[in-house]
């Protein structure tokens, strides 16, 4: 019986020592992270996970470090399973917020919208998350509009091909070849010429419009990027 008790005490001391090492690695990683040394931070957090594979704190911080290292796919892979394990509501909201960021960096707009909404369900007043959600929703709409536009283009191309086939068939059946040739010549007439001055004005107008649109998009991007990431690690 005494030996059994000693074994339990010894195991408890070992676990306590390993826990202290794990926390030390996390503190070291946080220090490196604050200094902008994200590679060292990643190493420290991974070492902490070697000590304690289920450490939510190490996984959360590792995800942030990987994101800073422009490795959003790996950051999402590390952090995604954490959401179900976090009990604290504030921490859970942070997890969903950052998963949204990782999705957004990968242009997974639908997933990022869902993640930001999950965060706001827990913490409705978070303006940072609201701003990111609005940006993700806009990018998702742009993507959907582009897909719809491309789909319509493909349909129009197919329709044009069918129309040309029908037109060729009608021309072959038409006995009045001279009339067909006259119609064809009319179709092939060059468009009216535009003066160089008018062409330059049209080009300048298009360039001004594109510049105005790009400046507006850049302002929105800067606004989002300024507050996108929850910088404070656990």
pLDDT given for residue 22 in this prediction: 72
Examine the pLDDT at 14 and tell me if it is beyond 50.
Answer: no
Mean pLDDT score, 4-28: 59
Q: Is 155 left (phi over 0), alpha (psi -120 to 50) or beta?
A: alpha
Exposure of 234 in the CB half-sphere (CA atoms within 13 A)? 17
Domains of the chain, by residue range, sit at 2-139
**Looking at residue 232, what is its pLDDT?**
59
Residue 145 · residue 128 · CB < 8 Å: no
How far is CA 183 from its chain centroid? Answer: 53
Structure tokens at 104: 């957004």
Q: What CATH number labels 2-139? A: 1.25.40.10
pLDDT band for 201, please (50, 70, 90 cuts): confident
Average pLDDT over residues 104-114: 97
Question: How would residue 93 be classed by pLDDT, with cut points 50, 70 and 90?
Answer: very high
Give the model's pLDDT for residue 221: 56
Q: Which of 22-26, 55-59, 227-231 has the lowest mean pLDDT?
A: 227-231
Gap between the Cα atoms of 113 and 100, Å rounded: 7
What's the mean pLDDT in 216-227? 56
pLDDT band at 182 (very low <50, low <70, confident <90, very high): low
Provide the whole-model pTM: 0.64
Backbone angles phi, psi at 66, to 5 degrees: -65, -40
Region of 161 (left: φ > 0; alpha: ψ -120 to 50; beta: rest) is alpha
pLDDT value for 23: 84
Token digits for 74? 């790996």
CA 46 to chain centre: 25
Contact criterion met (CB below 8 Å) for 77 and 63: no
Tell whether the model's pLDDT for residue 13 goes beyond 60.
no
Q: pLDDT confidence of 2, banded at 50, 70, 90?
A: very low
């Amino acid at each position: 019986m005494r030996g059994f008790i000693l074994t339990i005490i010894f195991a408890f001391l070992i676990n306590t020592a390993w826990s202290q090492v794990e926390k030390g690695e996390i503190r070291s990683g946080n220090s490196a992270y604050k200094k902008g040394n994200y590679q060292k931070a990643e190493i420290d957090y991974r070492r902490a996970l070697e000590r304690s594979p289920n450490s939510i704190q190490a996984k959360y911080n590792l995800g942030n470090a990987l994101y800073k290292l422009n490795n959003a796919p790996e950051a999402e892979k590390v952090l995604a399973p954490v959401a179900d394990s976090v009990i604290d509501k504030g921490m859970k909201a942070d997890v969903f917020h950052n998963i949204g960021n990782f999705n957004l960096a990968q242009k997974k707009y639908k997933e990022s919208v869902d993640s930001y909404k999950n965060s706001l369900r827990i913490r409705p007043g978070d303006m940072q998350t609201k701003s990111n959600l609005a940006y993700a929703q806009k990018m998702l709409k742009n993507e959907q509009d582009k897909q719809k536009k491309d789909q319509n283009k493909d349909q129009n191309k197919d329709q044009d091909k069918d129309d040309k086939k029908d037109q060729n068939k009608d021309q072959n059946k038409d006995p009045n070849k001279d009339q067909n040739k006259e119609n064809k010549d009319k179709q092939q007439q060059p468009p009216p010429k535009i003066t160089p001055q008018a062409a330059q004005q049209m080009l300048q107008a298009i360039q001004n419009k594109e510049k105005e649109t790009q400046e507006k998009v850049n302002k929105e991007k800067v606004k989002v990027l300024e507050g996108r990431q929850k910088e404070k690690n656990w």
